[in-house]
A and B are shown apart, each in its own frame.
Chain A
Amino acid sequence: MGNEAIARGALEAGVNVAAAYPGTPSSEVIENLAAVAKERNLYVEWSTNEKVAVEVAAAASFSGLRSMCVMKQNGVNVASDFLLHLTASGTRGGIVLVSCEDPGALSSVNEGESRYFARMLEMPLLEPADFQEAKDLTKWAFELSEKIHNIVMLRSVTRMSHASGNVVCGKLPNKIPQARFVYDGPLTDPLTGPVISTPVGLKHKLQQEKLKTAGKLFEKSPFNKYFGPPKPQFLIVTSSACFLYSREALSMLNLQKRVGILKLGCTWPLPEKLLKKYLRLTKNIMIVEEVLPFMEENIKVLAASYPKEIGVKSFYGKIDGTFPSVGELNPDVVAEALAKIMKVKYKTLPASYAQELRKVAAVIPPRDQTFCPGCPHRASFWNINAALKLDGREGFVCGDIGCYAMAALTPAIGFHTVRTLHSMGSGTGLASGFAKLDMFGFEKPVLSVCGDSTFYHAVIPALINAQHNKADITFIVLDNAGTAMTGFQPHPGLTMSAVGETVPAVDIGKICAAIGAKVEVSDPFDLETTTKKLNALLEEKGNPKVLILKQICALSPEKKGKKQYEVKVNEELCLGEDCGCNRLCTRIFRCPALTWDKAKKKAVVDEVICAGCGFCAAICPQGAIIKKEVVAS
């Protein structure tokens, strides 16, 4: 797996400290490092958020150690304020920021692109193009960072991080360095003085020189490589997984002898001399990259800067519409675009294949994105909907990032309660803003939700804002005891660290109470109590009110698949289509473990996938869903 290769590269570089906030597709890097933390004498942590992760890693670098921080694309946005100052102050021990990005937003609510941060914050950017490179470039990134005394960014994508390939491993170093933070030198010496971003003029100048040094090293880097004939008719410039797509496209079209590929592993700053050399070879240049036309823009600026050396080119890329401006690429998309330009025949799959595919697709049952069987979020949103409907003032929920974001992505499973969804922590900030619109005639009650991990990540400032500015919001913490969406990484609310040590838990309720909010706790599986509490909070006017809905995730390793209840439908009590319930359990509640027996026209519990939460027993108007407590044997 690409993320394993990145972790291995870090180990081979002798990384000492690694910090991260989980986020798909990045999480496995830290998980792999955590697994060998003891053995390799590493400090590994799940940080509260990405900004803190970079800060923790930077402290190690300032002390002469090698460190790494890992995040998904939008994590770089969170970390960017610190990064702006860090790239100016410079670093000491090798430090690498790994950003695993998600073109096509397979498991994100954005198609963020962090490569622009490298240009904007003036730090070097590396992009591995296969699994071996994922390891080797990571290792080299540490060396580069130490050479230029600045942080280096390494960008991966889902198809690199989550795909697998062969990697030849290198040796693991065996020295335990001593952490030493030197700060007695002059203010103007970043290596012995205090580590600060001022004097700004001096440090900024230094930073730019470092970048130039990186650019020079890039000219000779083996990670930038040309594949193809000496005199190609057409040149592809590409990086990352797009290199693999481009190679496959060439072989599909049998164009290897006519088209060359310049694969860049170092994409900012551009290795100018190298590019000049290859751009000269042909008139037609195609840039293959995902998300935004980062390389394309930079290459065009380069070509415009050196017209005599490079000549007039025809560029094909995202800007002229050769490639779609959103979504992932794949070999087919590249081949199709290339075939059109090169006027060669591109044989897509035969029509009969498509027909067969449609036939097969027709028998596959449609699968909506949904909450798992026994998911406490389904119960929580059921409660929220009931409370909002009973309240009757058309209140709504500002959503946040976690599994519960699905309540916004697939409105039916959130029972149409969630109406906004943005970045982590923003739900409560938005709610705080909505609540202050009362002076403009805005009267709807405003709720926000967030998960436990998200609470620590970015919600606390928003809650303080609501409290201090007397924003009348009802804030619900969907506390399922873990960072469930990314694979149960521990967070500050738990007593376990990334490497399995016992650590103190930070209590959400106490934080909210200390801020001054009224705090209630309820079990979302207790329908009556929860709805009652929520309605009482909604009716209370004034400051923020907090309801913590505590129920462990159905998939949590802590549950070990144990059922609290055996749940069955009593077929005699279930009136099926005669009930008047209009299949509430399978049409509206839609727990995947509840199915509709078309022959019998009655509800059935799928015992295999039922998690035994027993919540559905409370919603059946006929009392036909029977739950029986499982006695531990």
Chain B
Amino acid sequence: MAKRLSSQKLLKNNVLDAQLCTGCGACVSLCPYQAIYNDRTVQLHYCDLTDGKCHAYCPRTPTDFESLRELLFDTKDLTPEIGAVKAYYLTRAADSEIRSVAQHGGTVTALMELALNEGMIDAAIVSSGNQEYLRYGTVAADKNTLCKNAGVKFTVSPMAAAFNQFTRHEKGNAGVVAAPCQALALAKMKLNQDKNEAKRINQLQFVIGLYCGWALSAEKFSELLAKKYIRMDAIRRMDIPAGKNILELHTANGIREIPLDEAQACTREACNYCIDSTAEYADVSVGAARFAGTTEEQRGWNQLIVRTRKGIELIDLAAKKGFLEIKDAPQESLRDLKKAALEKKKTALANITRKSGSAKNLLYLDNRDVLLRRILGV
């Protein structure tokens, strides 16, 4: 009888060595064998366990998407392009202080503040801009910390590892801000039936997903910065202003610009094989309200997709308590979003097929998946 490969070995062969690792950290802080260091997932010692959680939670191992969707969403809400949509709005934080530190409308920060204030969660697990914390996310319990960590990070923060770390040490409830791959990892955790695990995973109250086109590889990006004599730790904020094809770096010495194609050449390899740009497995997903035909008025707003019942509760509460300004999004906005999301899916599927060498082998995806088949046009 052929010996079953250990979960760790499968992860190594099919995810790490295959350059599919998103750096989400779902496999980290569950055991002493896996770690994240300088943006890389590292296996410290040999583990021979099969059916490991590291393999089960990884967003780049095979997933029972059907069961997952059934567990999280109302089937009628599902769309092939952007996942489940219960509602779709333009939003921004009501608090101008939050808006002033936010990348766009400050929706994520406002929602987290609300959840903390209302006692829905004891901790908001958000991405930290601090380079020292490349290994972890940051746990915020107040508005100050939230504001300090507001703004888009273009490199990966291992949010799933931060959640694992939090539940290992704390008993309270948490909300997590997550990129699409991280939202999928956190969703996969909910499929686990183990009693001890369930207790820990139930600490997760909601996931606020972030739109994501790609993330930068910290290693490649720091090499690029070094060439341009920019210190990573001097960067306070990054932005991609609409229509300018540049990455703006706000440093202590003013704004530096990097051509977008140069920055995108530093994209994490794994991002090329990602079909999710809107964090389809989150409770709500938030992105910039920017699309063709953006008016000046819409600058400073977010798009918000509500996906689950929990998401509805959160947004209703935000409206009731006056934390968010909410307005209906124009129809063309949704159409443009779907179009862009579909493009990303098609490109990623083409990349996946090229990598596997066969249209039948979609690596971590399943070519029998109903929604995928609609995109593939079969």
Point out residues on A near B: beta carbons under 8 Å. Answer: 385-386, 389-392, 415, 535, 578-582, 584, 588, 619, 621
* Residue B238, interface by CB 8 Å: no
Q: Which residues of B contact A578 (CB under 8 A)?
A: 196
Q: Which residues of A contact B31 (CB under 8 A)?
A: 579-582, 584, 621
**Nearest Cβ on chain B to A623's Cβ, whole angstroms:** 9
Asked whether B196 lies within 8 Å of A392 as measured between CB atoms, the reply is no
Q: Which residues of A contact B229 (CB under 8 A)?
A: none
Asked whether A582 lies within 8 Å of B42 as measured between CB atoms, the reply is no
* Residue B43, interface by CB 8 Å: yes
Q: Which residues of A contact B53 (CB under 8 A)?
A: 580
Asked whether B33 lies within 8 Å of A390 as measured between CB atoms, the reply is no
Query: B44-52, B96-104, B359-367: which lies at the A interface?
Result: B44-52
* Residue B120, interface by CB 8 Å: no
Asked whether A392 lies within 8 Å of B32 as measured between CB atoms, the reply is no
The 0/1 profile, CB within 8 Å of A marked 1, for residues 70-95 of chain B is 00000000000000000000000000
Closest to A579 in B: B31
Q: Which residues of B contact A390 (CB under 8 A)?
A: 35, 37-38, 42, 44
Asked whether A584 lies within 8 Å of B42 as measured between CB atoms, the reply is no
Q: Which of B32, B43, B46 has the most CB of A within 10 A?
A: B32
Q: Which residues of A contact B268 (CB under 8 A)?
A: none
Apart from A580-B31, A582-B49, 16 more pairs, CB < 8 Å: A389-B35, A389-B42, A389-B44, A390-B37, A390-B38, A392-B37, A392-B38, A580-B30, A581-B31, A582-B48, A584-B31, A584-B33, A584-B45, A588-B46, A621-B31, A621-B32
Q: Which of B35, B43, B44, B53 has the most CB of A within 10 A?
A: B44
Closest to B169 in A: A623
**Nearest Cβ on chain A to B12's Cβ, whole angstroms:** 12
Separation of A51 and B31 alpha carbons in the complex (Å): 51
**Nearest Cβ on chain A to B194's Cβ, whole angstroms:** 9
Separation of A505 and B52 alpha carbons in the complex (Å): 52
Q: Which residues of A contact B35 (CB under 8 A)?
A: 389-390
Asked whether B196 lies within 8 Å of A584 as measured between CB atoms, the reply is no
Q: Which residues of B contact A392 (CB under 8 A)?
A: 37-38, 40, 42
Separation of A391 and B30 alpha carbons in the complex (Å): 21
Mostly helix, strand, loop or mixed at chain A's interface? helix
Q: Which residues of A contact B52 (CB under 8 A)?
A: 580
**Nearest Cβ on chain A to B60's Cβ, whole angstroms:** 18
- Cross-interface CB contact of A588 among B30, B42, B45, cutoff 8 Å: B45
Closest to A416 in B: B46
Point out residues on B near A: beta carbons under 8 Å. Answer: 30-33, 35, 37-38, 40, 42-49, 52-53, 196
Q: Which residues of B contact A389 (CB under 8 A)?
A: 35, 42-44
Quick one: given A385-B45, A578-B196, are A584 and B32 in contact (CB under 8 Å)?
A: yes
Separation of A114 and B297 alpha carbons in the complex (Å): 91
Listed by A's residue number, 28 A-B pairs whose Cβ atoms lie within 8 Å are A385-B44, A386-B44, A389-B35, A389-B42, A389-B43, A389-B44, A390-B35, A390-B37, A390-B38, A390-B42, A390-B44, A391-B37, A392-B37, A392-B40, A392-B42, A415-B45, A535-B37, A578-B196, A579-B31, A580-B31, A580-B49, A580-B52, A580-B53, A581-B31, A582-B31, A584-B33, A584-B45, A621-B32
Quick one: given A390-B35, A390-B37, are A582 and B43 in contact (CB under 8 Å)?
A: no
Closest to A387 in B: B37
Separation of A535 and B49 alpha carbons in the complex (Å): 29
Asked whether B42 lies within 8 Å of A581 as measured between CB atoms, the reply is no
Q: Which residues of A contact B38 (CB under 8 A)?
A: 390, 392
Separation of A390 and B32 alpha carbons in the complex (Å): 13
Q: Which residues of A contact B196 (CB under 8 A)?
A: 578
Closest to A535 in B: B37
Separation of A385 and B35 alpha carbons in the complex (Å): 13
Asked whether A619 lies within 8 Å of B44 as measured between CB atoms, the reply is no
Q: Which residues of B contact A588 (CB under 8 A)?
A: 45-46
**Nearest Cβ on chain B to A543's Cβ, whole angstroms:** 20
Q: Which residues of A contact B43 (CB under 8 A)?
A: 389
Separation of A391 and B39 alpha carbons in the complex (Å): 11
Q: Which residues of B contact A580 (CB under 8 A)?
A: 30-31, 49, 52-53
Quick one: given A390-B37, A392-B37, are A581 and B44 in contact (CB under 8 Å)?
A: no
**Nearest Cβ on chain B to A27's Cβ, whole angstroms:** 36
Separation of A307 and B196 alpha carbons in the complex (Å): 87
**Nearest Cβ on chain A to B249's Cβ, whole angstroms:** 23
Separation of A70 and B52 alpha carbons in the complex (Å): 57
Separation of A304 and B273 alpha carbons in the complex (Å): 78
**Nearest Cβ on chain A to B42's Cβ, whole angstroms:** 5
**Nearest Cβ on chain B to A581's Cβ, whole angstroms:** 6
Closest CB pairs A-B (n = 6): A390-B37, A621-B32, A580-B31, A588-B45, A582-B47, A389-B44
**Nearest Cβ on chain A to B159's Cβ, whole angstroms:** 20
**Nearest Cβ on chain A to B229's Cβ, whole angstroms:** 18
Q: Which residues of B contact A621 (CB under 8 A)?
A: 31-32
Quick one: given A415-B45, A582-B49, are A619 and B40 in contact (CB under 8 Å)?
A: no
Asked whether A619 lies within 8 Å of B32 as measured between CB atoms, the reply is yes
Q: Which residues of B contact A579 (CB under 8 A)?
A: 31
Closest to B45 in A: A588
Separation of A385 and B44 alpha carbons in the complex (Å): 7
Separation of A147 and B35 alpha carbons in the complex (Å): 70
Q: Which residues of A contact B49 (CB under 8 A)?
A: 580, 582
Q: Which residues of B contact A391 (CB under 8 A)?
A: 37
Q: Which residues of B contact A582 (CB under 8 A)?
A: 31, 33, 47-49
**Nearest Cβ on chain B to A532's Cβ, whole angstroms:** 11
Q: Which of A389, A390, A582, A584 has the most CB of B within 10 A?
A: A582
Q: Which residues of B contact A415 (CB under 8 A)?
A: 45
Q: Which residues of A contact B47 (CB under 8 A)?
A: 582
Separation of A621 and B37 alpha carbons in the complex (Å): 17
Separation of A619 and B35 alpha carbons in the complex (Å): 13
Q: Which residues of A contact B45 (CB under 8 A)?
A: 385, 415, 584, 588
Separation of A578 and B32 alpha carbons in the complex (Å): 14
Q: Which of B30, B37, B43, B196 has the most CB of A within 10 A?
A: B37
Q: Which of A391, A392, A415, A580 has the most CB of B within 10 A?
A: A580
Separation of A393 and B202 alpha carbons in the complex (Å): 38
Separation of A578 and B43 alpha carbons in the complex (Å): 20
Closest to A588 in B: B45
**Nearest Cβ on chain A to B269's Cβ, whole angstroms:** 15
Separation of A392 and B53 alpha carbons in the complex (Å): 23
**Nearest Cβ on chain B to A164's Cβ, whole angstroms:** 44
- Cross-interface CB contact of B32 among A385, A535, A581, cutoff 8 Å: A581
Q: Which residues of B contact A386 (CB under 8 A)?
A: 44
Closest to B32 in A: A621
Separation of A534 and B60 alpha carbons in the complex (Å): 32
**Nearest Cβ on chain B to A586's Cβ, whole angstroms:** 13
Separation of A410 and B49 alpha carbons in the complex (Å): 23
Q: Which residues of A contact B42 (CB under 8 A)?
A: 389-390, 392
Separation of A584 and B45 alpha carbons in the complex (Å): 9
**Nearest Cβ on chain B to A525's Cβ, whole angstroms:** 17
Q: Which residues of A contact B44 (CB under 8 A)?
A: 385-386, 389-390
Separation of A582 and B47 alpha carbons in the complex (Å): 7
**Nearest Cβ on chain B to A257's Cβ, whole angstroms:** 61
Separation of A415 and B32 alpha carbons in the complex (Å): 15
Separation of A415 and B49 alpha carbons in the complex (Å): 18
Separation of A580 and B45 alpha carbons in the complex (Å): 13
Separation of A535 and B46 alpha carbons in the complex (Å): 21
**Nearest Cβ on chain B to A580's Cβ, whole angstroms:** 4
Separation of A415 and B33 alpha carbons in the complex (Å): 13
Q: Which residues of A contact B46 (CB under 8 A)?
A: 588
**Nearest Cβ on chain B to A444's Cβ, whole angstroms:** 16
Separation of A578 and B195 alpha carbons in the complex (Å): 11
Closest to B31 in A: A580
Q: Which residues of A contact B48 (CB under 8 A)?
A: 582
Q: Which residues of A contact B32 (CB under 8 A)?
A: 581, 584, 619, 621
Closest to B168 in A: A621
Separation of A472 and B31 alpha carbons in the complex (Å): 34
Separation of A391 and B219 alpha carbons in the complex (Å): 12
